[in-house]
Structure 1
Amino acid sequence: MITMSVSQVTPANKVQKGKRNSMNRPQSTVDGDLYIGFRNDIDNESPAYRIRLHGLFKQIEKEFDLLYQENQNLQDKIEMLNEKIETIDKQSLDCIDFDNNYSKVISKKLSSTSSQKLKTAHKLKAQTSKIVSSFKAPQFNCTLVKEYIGHKDGVWEISVARPGQPLIGTASADHSACIWSIESGRCLLQYHGHAGSVNSIRFHPLKDLVLTSSGDCLAHIWQAVVNWDVPKGHSSEEELDGEDCEDRGDTKAATLRTPVCELTGHSGAISAAEWLVGAEQVITAGWDRLAVLHDVETGATLTVLAGHDLELTHTATHPTQKLAVTSSRDTTFRLWDFRESVHSVSVFQGHTESVTSAVFTREDKVVSSSDDRSVKVWDLRNMRSPVATIRVDSAVNRLSVSSNGIIAIPHDNRNVRLFDLSGQRLARLPRSSRQGHSRMVACAAWADDNLSSANLFTCGFDRRVLGWSVQSLKDQ
């Protein structure tokens, strides 16, 4: 079960995944209050008693590691079998002939039947064609090109800076947020202003500002001016305390601890925060079941958005309109409209388990992900039902949609898959001992300005942040 100390509060939807992910544990372990109280009890006992308890704990940890490794080995075997199925030669399956012959047989047998039976046959053919299409070769070449090493605990979210700034930001359960150079892989700035797990990170669309949210019930806006040419062992940034990124040894990153603005209003951990279009307002989503609209200039709370029945897991905003969506463990996501003085809200109930994220696309669609192992695509003009449903084999975390409509889907089972908005599977990122993630993939983020070799980034609870080159085979 994924657990961590109270000071490292993490997004709510992951805390509920213990039964399904009992073997996927991050570096942080037991609950803080229980741990402190238990240690006090141990300290009051005799030294022999303490030694015996520590020995028992080591045995338990060893057994858990063995079980975890066994589980990982079984999952790897399953993945190998799946890969063999996916890479079966199309000619050996004779998929095209199968599809054509199936159509001929159906046509002959049903030539004398009623029109109703003929409609049923067409439906069966469509389903068969969809199955056959799943055996098609990948349409994209996916290559790991960069790794960003530095965090000491799981990484919850990754975000890409505005066009022209080859930077990414990461938010981690180790209480820090980091700014990285995409090309060099170097950590340029560390933010240590939060007292809890940093659960989300977002760059300002126009200025050198960053928005982060945390388990300390606060959201911070901080200055993200980086020094691109930092000599070894030295930084000209203010508040530099000499810390480096996971002892990289080559350069030392600047460290910032003071925010420009602190946003309050929540009584529980804040799972996500995002700028509204124009960046004059910020929306935050928390474990207290509330979303809060803040004024950036004053830091004041403008509106408290209530309605969800359980903890909020994510929030996202429309790129050009004052619209926002909030996702929740109550199996719904809500669309909030701030274009009028009276805010309106619509509730969407398309999932059966916790909704882990919902994001807008440039085609005025909303793509939602869930623990129910599905991704749904909705049209903003008619959101009574999804226009496409993607069924997968594992719970889905914070997804991302590229400017050309490719959905990057990060999974609990360490995979990242690519689909288009119609639900057609395109590719899967490599995952082996050398490439890919070894634990839950928490988030994916596209970079659309094509200024670097990497255009897709992923992060997870193996503490890894990876940059991928995803290129269409048609363009090569």
Structure 2
Amino acid sequence: MSINQTPSAGKSFKGKRNSMARPQSAVDEVYGSLRSDLDDSLNPAYRIRLHNLFRQIEREFEILYQENQSLHEKVELLNEKVEREGYDKQNFDCVDFDNNIAKVLSKKLSTSSTQKLKTAYKLKAQTSKIVSSFKAPHLNCSIVKEYLGHKDGIWEVSVARLGQPIIGTASADHSACIWSVDSGRCLLQYHGHSGSVNSVRFHPVKDLVLTSSGDCSAHIWQAVVNWDLPKGHSSEEELELGEDCEDQRADTKAATLRTPVCELGGHMNAISAAEWLTGADQVITAGWDRLAVLHDVESGSTITTLTGHDLELTNTATHPTQRLAVTSSRDSTFRLWDFRESVQSVSVFQGHSESVTSAVFTHEDKVVSGSDDRTVKVWDLRNMRSPVATVRADSAINRLSVSTNGVIAIPHDNRHIRLFDLNGQRLARLPRSSRQGGQGHNRMVSCVAWSNDHLNNINLFTCGFDRRVLGWSVQSLKDL
């Protein structure tokens, strides 16, 4: 994940791999080399007959490819329909695509050569792999609330820990905002940073918020909101609204704060994330200068500088009950830092092939990491050599979140948000916006955050570079 110091520069979007790209023709690959040899060794009549057979095989292979591609599209369309409408798997009249493609292949290949049979069997295996993941959703997901107002992409959304119905957002427009979950109104905007605000985290027991920025600093500021702020009142200036919401809330004003309680330094480049360490008397920051820094909150001084990463740090997270922290990096690793002793220890987790965009603790002794290599891995802290579960996706993963009951919410570059359990079992996919309409984000989803409580029937918040924050209700189908 690229976090720039300038507000207009967002994440460099990665090209989407075409999973339906046409494979190399078996004729071109296998028989092409034979043709030149046969032309030199066979008589003209026999050579013409062989060429005709080659053309016939090629035509039949092309037909097989088209049929296989059509089946891929049908599987995807029906899969989206099942997830969108929440059909129960037992009541859904699903075509047995695996048997169907087997029958098609058997009929088409009855007189084909062994080489063609092998090639077509590969196509069948690919289709079978897709069919095996064709499952009905376990969760019902719907949008409850929308929060609009930022002028640029939103890097992060965070939920208050004190049980207050508020959320915080960090945006590339140089601001951080506090929102009322119920009304969708911005209650407070913070304009103390001079660069993109890359993270926002609430203090566990006080009305304080910690933000990090591309201006190389992290700020602690007072998050006391005025719930009784009358409509139309302005303390300093109005939060400028996006085009989509000007007509809806053009007369809504928000209080503005510009001065932090404490400013934390220690970095020579942008700070991608900052988080409270358990006990909240210390803060850890992760920066583009390849460093993580541990700060004392009361004095604002640097306690220690943590080195070891080879490339820029992308995120940091802390354990909910122990003095542990993880830092993720573009060097394809994440590190576990243990501050329970006077001298911190470090463990390096290697398993991704590209930038690790986030790594977070679960309420069990596990860590879940996401990467630009399109995988999410679940790790056991007692055995860091290899992951205990792996989720493979079709797009890069951004800042993920794990609920208290072990549901992983995964935000993607391709606007999707998918839900999995800690065993790697797919539970649901949240709807996304499309040309045909529909709900969800219409640009990259940069972050997701679970709420421990159902705030106004909302327990999942998502944000992205469409400048929107969405509040979702995610419920088990068994509870409906």
TM over 0.5: yes
Structure 2: distance between partners of 1:325 and 1:301: 18
Aligned length: 383
Residues 410/207 of structure 1: CA separation in 2 closer, same or farther (3 Å cut): same
Matches within 5 A, 1:44-59: none
1:292-350 Cα distance to aligned partner (Å, 9 max, x none): 00000000000100000000000000000000000000000000000001110011111
Matching residue of 1:92: 94
Matching residue of 1:30: none
Q: Which amino acid aligns with 1:200?
A: S
Structure 2: distance between partners of 1:176 and 1:79: 42
Structure 2: distance between partners of 1:249 and 1:300: 42
Matching residue of 1:475: 479
Matches within 5 A, 1:186-225: 186-225=185-224
CA contact (8 A) 2:3 2:214 kept: no
Q: Identify the match of residue 238 of structure 2 among 223, 243, 256.
A: 243
Q: Which amino acid aligns with 1:93?
A: V
Structure 1: distance between partners of 2:404 and 2:148: 27
CA contact (8 A) 2:3 2:272 kept: no
Matching residue of 1:322: 323
Residues 164/2 of structure 1: CA separation in 2 closer, same or farther (3 Å cut): closer
Say which SS state the counterpart of residue 420 (structure 2) adopts: strand
Q: Identify the match of residue 451 of structure 2 among 441, 447, 452.
A: 447
CA contact (8 A) 1:397 1:412 kept: yes
CA contact (8 A) 2:294 2:303 kept: yes
Give the deviation of 1:3 after TM superposition.
Answer: 9.0
Alignment gaps of 5+ in structure 1: 22-77, 99-126
Give the deviation of 1:430 after TM superposition.
Answer: 1.1
Say which SS state the counterpart of residue 92 (structure 1) adopts: coil
Structure ID, larger Rg = 2
1:402-440 Cα distance to aligned partner (Å, 9 max, x none): 010000000000000000000000001111334111110
Matching residue of 1:418: 419
Structure 2: distance between partners of 1:161 and 1:193: 20
Give the deviation of 1:133 after TM superposition.
Answer: 5.4
Matching residue of 1:401: 402
Structure 2: distance between partners of 1:19 and 1:451: 37
Matching residue of 1:148: 147
CA contact (8 A) 1:230 1:251 kept: no
Structure 2: distance between partners of 1:226 and 1:425: 39
Structure 2: distance between partners of 1:424 and 1:205: 31
CA contact (8 A) 2:168 2:200 kept: yes
Structure 1: distance between partners of 2:350 and 2:297: 32
Matching residue of 1:285: 286
Q: What TM-score do you get using the length of structure 2 for normalisation?
A: 0.75
Matching residue of 2:48: none
Q: Which amino acid aligns with 2:415?
A: R
CA contact (8 A) 1:10 1:199 kept: no
CA contact (8 A) 2:374 2:394 kept: yes
Give the deviation of 1:233 after TM superposition.
Answer: 2.0
Structure 2: distance between partners of 1:402 and 1:230: 32
1:260-283 Cα distance to aligned partner (Å, 9 max, x none): 000000000000000000100000
Matching residue of 2:354: 353
Structure 1: distance between partners of 2:74 and 2:218: 42
Q: Which amino acid aligns with 1:82?
A: E
Matching residue of 1:25: none
1:137-195 Cα distance to aligned partner (Å, 9 max, x none): 11111001100010000000000001421110000000000000001000000000000
Matching residue of 2:298: 297
Matches within 5 A, 1:317-396: 317-396=318-397
Structure 2: distance between partners of 1:130 and 1:382: 30
Say which SS state the counterpart of residue 354 (structure 2) adopts: coil
2:429 is the counterpart of 1:428: yes
Say which SS state the counterpart of residue 449 (structure 1) adopts: strand
Q: Which amino acid aligns with 1:315?
A: T
CA contact (8 A) 1:175 1:194 kept: yes
Q: Which amino acid aligns with 2:451?
A: A
Q: Which amino acid aligns with 1:221?
A: I
Structure 1: distance between partners of 2:3 and 2:357: 18
Structure 2: distance between partners of 1:2 and 1:215: 11
2:264 is the counterpart of 1:269: no
Q: Identify the match of residue 467 of structure 2 among 463, 467, 470.
A: 463
Residues 428/179 of structure 1: CA separation in 2 closer, same or farther (3 Å cut): same
Give the deviation of 1:250 after TM superposition.
Answer: 3.4
CA contact (8 A) 1:141 1:473 kept: yes
Q: What TM-score do you get using the length of structure 1 for normalisation?
A: 0.76
Structure 2: distance between partners of 1:136 and 1:368: 24
Q: Which amino acid aligns with 1:204?
A: H
Alignment gaps of 5+ in structure 2: 18-71, 83-88, 100-125
Matches within 5 A, 1:9-24: 14-15=11-12, 17=13
Matching residue of 2:85: none
Give the deviation of 1:79 after TM superposition.
Answer: 9.4
Q: Which amino acid aligns with 1:219?
A: A
CA contact (8 A) 1:327 1:333 kept: yes
CA contact (8 A) 1:7 1:195 kept: no
Give the deviation of 1:93 after TM superposition.
Answer: 3.5
Say which SS state the counterpart of residue 289 (structure 2) adopts: coil
Question: Alignment identity in percent?
Answer: 76
Residues 10/280 of structure 1: CA separation in 2 closer, same or farther (3 Å cut): farther
Structure 1: distance between partners of 2:442 and 2:73: 13
Q: Which amino acid aligns with 1:342?
A: V
CA contact (8 A) 1:9 1:196 kept: no
Q: Which stretch shows the higher mean deviation, 342-351 or 424-433?
A: 424-433
Structure 2: distance between partners of 1:406 and 1:85: 21
CA contact (8 A) 1:200 1:272 kept: yes
Structure 1: distance between partners of 2:258 and 2:477: 45
Residues 395/325 of structure 1: CA separation in 2 closer, same or farther (3 Å cut): same
Residues 426/441 of structure 1: CA separation in 2 closer, same or farther (3 Å cut): same
In angstroms, what is the RMSD of aligned CA positions? 2.6
Say which SS state the counterpart of residue 474 (structure 1) adopts: helix
Matching residue of 1:234: 233
